[in-house]
Amino acid sequence: MDSQDIVAWGRVDKERYFEERERLGVLCDWGQEEGKGVDGFVRMEMDFEIMLCDFTAGVRVESMLNLEEIKRGRVGPPLHAPSTNTNAEVRMDIEVIRAGARHNHFPGETRVKLDYTKFISFYDTDLVPSLVDVRARMNGRLEHRLEGISARDIGAVMGRLNSAFSGSGGSGSGVDWQTLIKVVKDRYAERLELVRDLVNLNETTVKKAGDVQGQLTAMVAPYLLASPNFNATYKLCATTHTRYIRETLAMTPSEKLLLGAVEGTTKEICRSVIRMWSWGVDHDDGDVEELLGAWKEEIERLMNWLDWSVWLKCRPGCNWDEMCYLPTWPMFRWGPGGRPGPPGRGPPPPEDVDEDEEPDWIDPQPVCRKIVGEVDF
């Protein structure tokens, strides 16, 4: 929402969270300036939604249906749909969540094609340096907003955005960035999670340490040379997937940002994994508890730093009559007065929320919820 407001109004405006019609109107006006030819916008709400600027341009009417009226709740998606079967009741709010959840996992919403050669990010510290210090004072990414961005950086972002429509900056390298990023995640996500699970087992044994070292060795093995050299192993591990890109391909500024992000990620993974692996190589069987403690601290630090969405899941998995649900605005909780709070981090919890529930408000976690029978949403 913050980024939309910056494009629309040139600033983050807390007082205009719910001015959706006005926001879209201004965005559409901007999208028609200087021949941009923007038909609409795709954004995240509960999941993905399309905001079209003109239903008479580029859209063909296939059908116009007069559906049975759906009874609605006080605010938000419809709660219950009438049925000709008096014994059946449909919770439409749950069905909305289930429909959106189809795109929760890779490859996501494939009907939307992203142009990575024109990718713009407010995490680009060269483009938006004013937010670096602001974020340093926050407790993690969940608190990150665009409040505090400087006027200069807003101008730089808008300049980059406008240039994306002019065709300047080159056509790109041809690298499939989505696949490259997935390769890195697929290579490490499951193995890192397994290492974390192993070190958290409620036992302290030489066998447990051996199992952990085995998993670390499996991650390092493709880069271990016949004559062991930690520096060479690290370099191979950190650059295997990206070295050819940097050495041979011409990239747009957006692609250089993506390459830096991928390389920064692989370097930190390889640094941490090789470090943990070396601890096991150099350790004798004397103090296994100390070794397991060091591994546990480091794997938790690495996974928290990566914070990959693939690890945000219900554990254990849900039953057949349940779905794994991540509480999401605006269907997270009703705020004071019956209206959902604004998107983003949102307001503080309502006064009637117990202290024990506050962490769920700030950092919602996936939970299993029944979707048939006596539902518990």
Residue 282: pLDDT band (50, 70, 90) is: confident
pLDDT at residue 132, rounded to an integer: 94
pLDDT at residue 140, rounded to an integer: 82
Q: Is the pLDDT of residue 347 over 50?
A: no
pLDDT at residue 156, rounded to an integer: 96
pLDDT at residue 85, rounded to an integer: 54
- Asked whether the beta carbons of 54 and 39 are under 8 A apart, the reply is yes
Ranges 59-63, 187-191, 288-292, 319-323: which has the least confidence: 59-63
CA distances from 115 to 118, 120, 167 (A): 6, 10, 12
For helices 253-282 and 206-220, give the axis angle rounded to 10 degrees: 140
Q: What proportion of the chain, given as a percentage, has pLDDT over 90?
A: 51
pLDDT at residue 68, rounded to an integer: 80
Residue 167: pLDDT band (50, 70, 90) is: confident
Long-range contacts at 284-292 (CB < 8 A, ≥ 24 apart) = 285/206, 288/204, 288/205, 288/206, 288/208, 288/209, 289/204, 291/209, 292/199, 292/204, 292/208, 292/209, 292/212
- Asked whether the beta carbons of 272 and 264 are under 8 A apart, the reply is no
Phi-psi region of 34 (alpha: psi -120 to 50; beta: other; left: phi over 0): left
- Asked whether the beta carbons of 81 and 90 are under 8 A apart, the reply is yes
Section 171-194 average pLDDT:
95
Residue 337: pLDDT band (50, 70, 90) is: very low
Direct distance between the N- and C-terminal alpha carbons of the chain, in angstroms, rounded to an integer: 26
Which pLDDT tens digit goes with each residue over 223-256? Answer: 998 877 889 999 999 999 999 898 877 899 999 9
pTM for the predicted model, two decimal places: 0.84
Q: What proportion of the chain, given as a percentage, has pLDDT over 70?
A: 83
Beta partners for 324?
368
Q: Which tokens go with 174?
A: 């041809």
Residue 330: pLDDT band (50, 70, 90) is: low
Which pLDDT tens digit goes with each residue over 88-133? Answer: 567 777 888 888 888 888 888 888 889 999 999 999 999 999 999 9
Section 279-287 average pLDDT:
82
CA 254 from chain centre, in angstroms, equals 19
CA 323 from chain centre, in angstroms, equals 20
Max Cα-Cα span within the chain: 76
Q: Which tokens go with 336?
A: 């004071």
CA 264 from chain centre, in angstroms, equals 17
How many Å apart are CA 200 and CA 196, to the nearest integer? Answer: 6
How many Å apart are CA 17 and CA 26, to the nearest integer? Answer: 14
Residue 225's contacts (CB-CB under 8 Å, 6 or more residues apart) are: 232, 233, 236
Q: Is the pLDDT of residue 76 over 60?
A: no
Which pLDDT tens digit goes with each residue over 183-229? Answer: 999 999 999 999 999 999 988 788 999 999 999 999 999 999 887 78
